[in-house]
Chain A
């Protein structure tokens, strides 16, 4: 059947800001879907307030809105665009829930919008756990014993019936939010309460525990003609009890017999049928008892998901694209798979390799949160690696996670700790199993399998590697070619082989040369070689036939940013994707290297060629050799590519843009400081201490408060602000290494300074500044965590000009060609440089969209030799600057604190946010109100505000409080503040601080008497005080401001909200955005008949 003629405009809802459980996989799916729909001639309207995404790049969709994902704003969009249909399945749980809301509010009917993708009925059946259970049983399948409870009392009775441990799962939440495992009576009540609170319908399922069972996922596609295929089977190496998002997984399933697998396959298809998924993809999760093989259905998601993105990358089967086509009326046999160009989507991929996914945790940033994993997802990203064998893929994937392990490596742990980890769902469980195998060998496998729940099959593969490694260690010295080859076939890195053999990496490079040993590359073709593939999508392995011809000198290699992590996420990947599109539009070929399966950059048609490889110098150099390409871009993927620039250049690569020499200069503190003072620019006083004593001495010299930065601390760098001697002691007491090799950097901390972010593109002569963002919070809160506004809203022209001037000097001084990111701080109208990054930054996509200038395309053209002047981006003085096309644009950070129970949501110099949202508007207030809505903060239109500010903030906060009073807000305050306000003629209710007894501010918050908190303790308190208030505010979702500026901003927002408008505006499309990709590598016709 051809595409539906009765549809014209289709509304696609994105998943909003990146949070744990909903990351860039939905940008990938959404972008693919938008392309698939526009191919068919539909007009696509897209709504997603996430500025970091590719999908919200002007030109990707016909009409883009970066408005909050709430019924009122979506209704405005619908009113504006009059879509015929809403594609509900591309924006994760957010879009599904929103679709249900819109339906229930009658908005869809009111405007005659048809839901396509998954019908409202099927969404209900699948998402409502008890309804789902009924369906499962009606099919003669098993689901875990469970009872849906709406109260703690009911839950208790159930607990008695089923017995502990128990799984508690709220209905309608994503990534298992609010779910938990109760091992005994004691913790039960509080856990149930939490679950009920998390569920939008205040329901939770109390469920029998299947901990330790094998866990599987099947990715299924089904069309309206009742055709269905299984795209991919995924086996979790971590057994049931660890969320699939936190589990190390492998595709295809390894340990199921054909009979078991076919049973599961048929069940999955039956389930889609029964739920009514008849035009898209779904994933179905199963648990299988390791001995009896008893199969239990866990859940299904009637939409694309994290695992469908993974499955697409693991198999080459474009699930999102296919789902979009099915949603508009095609059947599976009518849609062609572009990878083969020969097979239809009515085809089950056959793999001749293994695909392993390893989650990436923030164990260093949030140590407390990772004691043990559970049914609620906690990982912030993931890496994918392909290999011919499971062990090869596993080693590559662990390396690709960039968590400090080069592959399977031993943990140095006390035995008790090792034992604890083995017996619990722990992020390092696999590595401690490996440690035991290395120590005790094969004999340990059976017991290990019992303890960890890892299937013997996986442990056996690890044991093989352990034996190979001990051979390397025994023989020592440069290994023979066959042994080296064997080690490479296990996916072991040169660095590790060298370490095992007790030699230098260089000696292995010599061995490679003399014996002509190099990796070979295989095509991901979806069909195990049965048909010729036409889309070059590669992975490396060793000792087999090599496929694909070199792409040649002209091509540009783009190194992307690897797995999402806090500080390096979607923004960077989007830059890489846009660069690839830009280069291809200029007629060049591009090669993308990345290990992140969630992204658009790892979509097979983003670049001329795609390599799924770990982002280490070894792998990148091998790809360079294979492709015969020289030019490498390291400015776009964040810190990961930048860190390997020197090594790449040393091996003959040509680094595009700013030279490695200059990159090093800008990153070396001494050289940098020297250059800066030479330019007559100012940095906060900064010194570097190589002994503990020196830290103290320097701190005194510089004067408190000081900012302390240990060097080389894995992941989170535990930066800290010390306001006095005691804190200094406390800091040093944390056992942070201080030595000449690992100095601690001591900076003068600028208190109450304004902070700015500037992103610019330089061609070596002239400079184009995309825009200047002013932070709303004061310096001291990481640029990635503070709200920021474009254009700067509280700055003297003098300060702004000083920044422009500084930027031009720096760009020249460091011979910047391409991107330049500068963070400034202004205190008492004196400008300081906080940081200079010779690369694209997190804020590039935001500024590009707000200013309507695709800065990445701009840089690409510069790199291709077209000066900014030629591109008409600078004036006669050689300077250009973007302006905000939307009037005002505010960026707000999004945190996933609610996933880390009891974690203090205090903000500081270290980044903690997982994502960001944008709000735009004609006034600052409108933009601010929208962005707050977009991140889920509900600013009150009325009610009571709690005020507690330190002395020096009092005069600043006064007008804000006055305004709130005028707006009819009641005011309550702590004694000091209350007295001050009283003197100024404002009456406020006096309430107790947390430690002054009851009822105190917390009690008032809990009883719902407080709708807004303004609390600006100064000095050390801003860092340590008020913890309980913050934690409670997060738990209860009460807006909370720590700075007078943020409070003032909130009032602007409130004023806008009280107008009652929900205006929406299409993101301006300018000719400066041409992202239509010239697909030099895929067959044009996408539909068979």
Chain B
């Protein structure tokens, strides 16, 4: 392979490959690049679902490395996208991830009605790089933890000069770390929008970067969903009078999301509170718990989660780089769900206060549907 593009990590390591999707900027003109090419490099072990992953707002600010070597096999179809309503925020990209790293990208014929991954990335101005030693990179990230990285074009003669490398590293140093990053501003809706108005139960959905399938799951359970901007206030909720509040998934660190946490704290015990992924982390902080940054997180479609109440284990879709510190949880809040591999907190419950939240993604998409019953669990908190 003659490389024409490189993935450069903030430790100076350089990973050659071949560019696809949007043309990557040259290393010396990164500042004014008009394509997405940077972010925290995380690996995802899913063997399918690249389209759902690329369009999942939780990946904002991250370059996704797919560990499965063949990506793009079945093309892309906008109807699979996971981006939420985003009302009032024109011009947001259709791909949320900052870049895509693969071993081999498929560029052949795709089924009618779909487009090639290459075009899909181009259309959305996102850089991809293939022919990369994704396994070597994954093992590195596993042992050293996730790092920031950028995808840059090769110099005129196909390689990368020392100057270009310096420039790249300079840029990388300027990149913020994921720890402490509030990315809710970059995602989600700006306006209140009502979905399925004739639905029976009224669920307020705080959009911190929600996945469309959460709405689909709620609506399929005959819920009327009001999607709210993540900066919504207690007053807004009190006037809205929903039956329950669901804090959505989303990108970044839960720690800086104080307004969201205090909103939840204000509603604790008044209406049922549910959370998914980032929403679960926010709720945990709202009740006084702590969160921490994991070394390389859980990103995949095969993570086993045990329901400590029933002993049942189910395979879940996961995507998180932060987790809830069990020791920090106040009394009365029990760890209902636990990761069957590393024992980390996967969900919290307080039946009296009608609070229940999960770290994994019951809405799947991509991934197994095994835990869609969690939405029924949410709704049960409404029964008396």
Contacts and interface: CB of A to CB of B under 8 A. Distances in A.
Interface of A: 225-227, 229, 252, 254-262, 265-266, 269, 291, 331-333, 342-344, 346-354, 388-390, 445-446, 456-457, 459-460, 463, 482, 485-486, 489, 522, 527-532, 543-545, 547
B341 A254 contact: no
Nearest to B50: A258
- Chain B, interface size category, equals 35 or more
B340 A257 contact: no
A1073 B136 CA distance: 44
Given A261-B48, A352-B69, A445 B109 contact: yes
Interface in B335-384: 340-341, 364-370
A390 B47 CA distance: 14
A852 B142 CA distance: 50
The 5 closest A-B pairs by CB, nearest first: A460-B108, A545-B136, A258-B49, A348-B302, A528-B67
B73 A258 contact: no
B315 interface: yes
Given A530-B45, A543-B133, A460 B106 contact: yes
A350 B49 contact: no
Nearest to B315: A348
A530 B364 CA distance: 20
Contacts of B364: 262
B108 A456 contact: yes
A457 B304 contact: no
Contacts of A257: 48, 51, 74, 77, 80
Contacts of B107: 460
A951 B33 CA distance: 98
A350 B369 contact: no
Given A257-B77, A333-B306, 5 more contacts: A348-B315, A352-B69, A390-B70, A460-B109, A530-B142
Nearest to A229: B315
Nearest to B76: A257
A350 B340 CA distance: 16
21 contacts: A225-B313, A258-B49, A258-B365, A259-B80, A262-B369, A333-B340, A347-B340, A349-B302, A352-B134, A354-B69, A354-B70, A445-B108, A445-B109, A456-B108, A460-B106, A460-B107, A482-B1, A528-B135, A529-B67, A529-B138, A543-B133
B91 interface: no
Contacts of A353: 69
B72 to A, nearest CB: 10
Contacts of A445: 108-109
B2 interface: yes
Contact of A528 (B45, B341, B366): B45
Nearest to B72: A457
**Most chain A beta carbons < 10 A, residue from B69, B134, B366, B370:** B69
Contact of A352 (B109, B112, B138, B311): B138
Contact of A545 (B80, B133, B302, B341): B133
Given A460-B109, A545-B136, A333 B313 contact: yes
Nearest to B138: A529
Nearest to A482: B2
A304 B258 CA distance: 53
A173 B302 CA distance: 35
Given A227-B312, A227-B314, A350 B302 contact: yes
Given A227-B314, A255-B73, A446-B109, A347 B300 contact: no
Contacts of A261: 48
A527 B109 contact: no
B47 A350 contact: yes
B341 A347 contact: yes
B242 interface: no
B46 interface: yes
Contact of A252 (B47, B136, B142): B47
B80 A529 contact: no
Nearest to B114: A257
Contacts of B43: 528-530
Nearest to A458: B108
Contacts of A459: 108
B68 A347 contact: no
Given A262-B368, A460-B106, A544-B133, A350 B45 contact: yes
A482 to B, nearest CB: 6
B62 interface: no
Interface in B268-316: 300-304, 306, 311-315
Given A354-B70, A457-B73, A346 B106 contact: no
A390 B51 CA distance: 21
Given A528-B45, A544-B133, A545-B136, A344 B74 contact: no
Nearest to A390: B70
B173 to A, nearest CB: 26
Contacts of B340: 333, 344, 346-347
B103 A528 contact: no
A1038 B32 CA distance: 86
A191 to B, nearest CB: 35
Contacts of A258: 46, 48-49, 51-52, 80, 365-367
Interface in B53-99: 67-70, 73-74, 77, 80
A389 B69 contact: yes
A543 B302 contact: no
A544 B369 contact: no
A50 B220 CA distance: 56
A333 B343 CA distance: 12
A269 B315 CA distance: 12
Contacts of A344: 304, 313, 340-341
B300 A529 contact: no
Contacts of A350: 45-47, 67-68, 300-302
Given A262-B368, A333-B313, A482-B2, A347 B135 contact: no
Contacts of A529: 43, 45, 67, 135, 138-139, 142
A743 to B, nearest CB: 48
Contacts of B48: 256-258, 261
A230 B318 CA distance: 17
A352 B306 contact: no
B220 to A, nearest CB: 15
Contact of A389 (B46, B103, B300, B368): B103
Contacts of B23: none
Contacts of A342: 341
B242 to A, nearest CB: 30
B104 interface: yes
Contact of B70 (A331, A389, A531): A389
A201 B270 CA distance: 66
A347 B315 CA distance: 7
Interface in B9-61: 43, 45-49, 51-52
A347 B46 CA distance: 13
A389 to B, nearest CB: 5
A389 B104 contact: yes
A531 B139 CA distance: 9
A446 B108 CA distance: 11
Contact of A544 (B135, B302, B306): B135
B297 to A, nearest CB: 10
Nearest to B342: A342
Nearest to A269: B370
Contacts of B365: 258
Contacts of B49: 258
A350 to B, nearest CB: 4
A291 B107 CA distance: 19
A111 to B, nearest CB: 34
Contacts of B133: 543-545
Nearest to A391: B104
B272 to A, nearest CB: 27
Contacts of B69: 352-354, 388-389
A352 B69 CA distance: 6
Contacts of B314: 227
Contacts of A225: 311-313
Contacts of A531: 142, 341
Contacts of A390: 70
